[in-house]
């Protein structure tokens, strides 16, 4: 189990680093070409709100995984290792399901605000 966890962490770290490098390179190229207009500025300003949503999502998922780990420790006689893994997936899925309506509401608010600022200009 530890080997799989370490492999997953290493893989996800590499993916995150490659994504950050690619995003920064794209932003730099857009700025160098002068392709930044008002629409792009609004999109980049909304990015901070979207990152808080991403933080909320992963926070909820990690809390679910933590709860699954705690439950599997409290009930060691009733759960096998497969049951504990099932609990992890169950609680992580519940975290995603709870996150979805919250994110949809926030995204509608962000979109409404962007439309109001676009029509106000």
C-beta separation of 28 from 104 below 8 A: no
**What pLDDT does residue 14 have?**
92
**What pLDDT does residue 35 have?**
64
Q: Could you tell me the end-to-end alpha-carbon distance of the chain, in angstroms, rounded to an integer?
A: 56
Distance (Å, rounded) from C-alpha 92 to C-alpha 106?
21
**What pLDDT does residue 40 have?**
63
Q: Residue 20: CA atoms inside 13 Å, Cβ hemisphere, count?
A: 6
Distance (Å, rounded) from C-alpha 34 to C-alpha 38?
12
CA separation (Å) from 25 to 4, 11, 64, 84?
Answer: 32, 21, 35, 41
pLDDT in tens, the chain (121 residues): 677 788 888 888 999 899 888 887 887 777 677 766 656 655 665 566 677 788 888 888 889 888 888 888 887 676 677 777 888 889 899 989 998 999 889 888 878 887 887 676 5
**What pLDDT does residue 36 have?**
64
Query: Two tokens at 80?
Result: 């096998």
C-beta separation of 64 from 91 below 8 A: yes
Q: What dihedral do alpha carbons 88, 92, 97, 102 form, nearest 10°?
A: 150
Q: What pTM did the predictor assign?
A: 0.55
CA separation (Å) from 91 to 7, 8, 54, 65?
Answer: 22, 19, 18, 6
């Amino acid at each position: 189990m530890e080997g799989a966890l370490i492999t997953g962490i290493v893989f996800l770290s590499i993916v995150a680093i490659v994504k950050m490098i690619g995003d920064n390179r794209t932003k730099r190229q857009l700025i160098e070409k002068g392709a930044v207009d008002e629409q792009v500025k609004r999109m980049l300003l909304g990015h901070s709100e979207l990152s808080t949503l991403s933080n909320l999502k992963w926070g909820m998922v990690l809390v679910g995984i933590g709860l699954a780990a705690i439950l599997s420790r409290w009930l060691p006689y009733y759960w096998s290792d497969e049951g504990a893994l099932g609990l992890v997936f169950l609680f992580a899925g519940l975290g995603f399901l709870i996150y979805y309506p919250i994110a949809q509401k926030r995204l509608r608010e962000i979109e409404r605000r962007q439309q109001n600022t676009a029509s106000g200009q």
